[in-house]
Amino acid sequence: ARINEYAALGIDSFVLSGYPHLEEAYRVGELLFPHLDVAIPEIPQPQPLNPQGEAVANDFIPRKVAQS
């Protein structure tokens, strides 16, 4: 093939497409990614809500309400 002629000249990298097509992107994901040694990040779990601070609604009455 013609590409072998370029390889014989010492060219070892080729850009065969200017942009990836959708089908090519899926193919890379399905065929290449399973062979890569990358860790799948963990999805952060939601933290349970804890009451923080202090509730003052039962101890203090706003001045306007207290006067009426």
Q: What are the φ and ψ backbone dihedral angles of 3, each rounded to 5 degrees?
A: -65, -30
Please tell me the pTM assigned to this model. Answer: 0.30
The confidence band for 58, taking pLDDT boundaries of 50, 70 and 90, is low
Residue with tokens 């072998």: 4
Average pLDDT in the chain: 79
* Angle (nearest 5°) at CA 32 between 30 and 38: 105
% of residues, the chain, pLDDT over 70 = 76
Banded pLDDT at 14 (limits 50, 70, 90): confident
